[in-house]
Chains A and B, each alone.
Chain A
Amino acid sequence: MIGKEFIGRESESVVLKIRSEEVRRFAEAIGISFDGEVPVTYVGTLLQAKIPGFELTDPGMVHGEQKITYQRPLSLGDSLTYKRRIKDVYERTSKLGKIMIVVLETTGYDLACELVFSSSSTLIIPVKEATNEESV
């Protein structure tokens, strides 16, 4: 189970090129015709940068919030370096019982090391009370 000790862990930097065929596939999946523009939420697909010891497969995990900020728009053919980092982990009691909140940050830079976008995903993971794990 993820805990506060994960705060600050980050992935390696991953280099990627914004490719037409992948953006086209994404556009078709969200139901729009591909017009050469990169949809705003495309950066939500940048999941390849793995954070050591952290997997997004906890049972029942749902997405609570998402924030995306662009310094400039992404274009086809752009080369980016991005990495992901665990910004925060905390426990909370909701109407559904104890939950763990994980805030994941993704930042993308261009080849000149200029920030292109940053995004933050807030994930909600139900905590199984029966396991009697000590919360930190």
Chain B
Amino acid sequence: MKSLFNYQVSDPLPIREWVPSHVQIRQYAEASGDFNPIHLDDNYARQVGLGGMIAHGMLTMAQMAVMLTEWIGKEGRISKLEVRFEQVVRPGDKITFSGSIRARSENIIECDIEACNDKEEIVLTGLVHIKQE
């Protein structure tokens, strides 16, 4: 496997796929304490104009972090993670996480990150700073 030290600017990061389920969203609500009914009650989510239940943004962000953490391994750690939730994510959506190296300095790798759904809509964009250990 390619070491973190060998990545160069514009190199792509590994890709990760994820399909949120109703069960996982419920589990996340319980583990995080975020019981906003837009994540748990389909009728409520429709009433407030969301067109149905949506996954927690923080659950999608957590999946992005999983992709990054698996890629980084023990060679570094995330010192900054910033995301913008561009579109809602719904149970059953197939989400693909990706990214590329934007810049690197002596001990920080900066990457652009993104997630798309199966309709090729961008659902999340952001950036991450990885501090090399």
Contacts and interface: CB of A to CB of B under 8 A. Distances in A.
A45 B49 contact: no
A16 B68 CA distance: 27
A14 to B, nearest CB: 13
Nearest to B23: A29
B24 A29 contact: yes
Interface stretch (A58-66, A77-85, A100-108): A58-66
B77 A57 contact: no
A39 B54 contact: no
Contacts of A64: 84-85
B85 A30 contact: no
B27 interface: yes
B59 to A, nearest CB: 7
Interface string A110-127: 000000000000000010
Nearest to A37: B69
A1 interface: no
A40 B83 contact: no
B50 interface: yes
A29 B31 contact: yes
Interface residues of A, number: 33
Interface string B46-62: 01111000101111011
B57 A66 contact: yes
Interface residues of B, number: 37
B27 A63 contact: no
Contacts of B68: 40
B32 to A, nearest CB: 4
A97 to B, nearest CB: 10
Contact of B28 (A22, A30, A56, A62): A30
B78 A40 contact: yes
Contacts of B38: 60-62
Given A29-B24, A47-B32, A47-B33, 5 more contacts: A25-B31, A56-B34, A62-B88, A66-B57, A69-B79
25 contacts: A25-B31, A29-B28, A29-B30, A30-B62, A30-B66, A31-B63, A39-B65, A39-B66, A40-B78, A41-B58, A41-B62, A44-B62, A47-B34, A56-B34, A60-B49, A62-B54, A62-B57, A63-B58, A65-B85, A66-B58, A68-B80, A68-B81, A70-B80, A96-B49, A126-B48
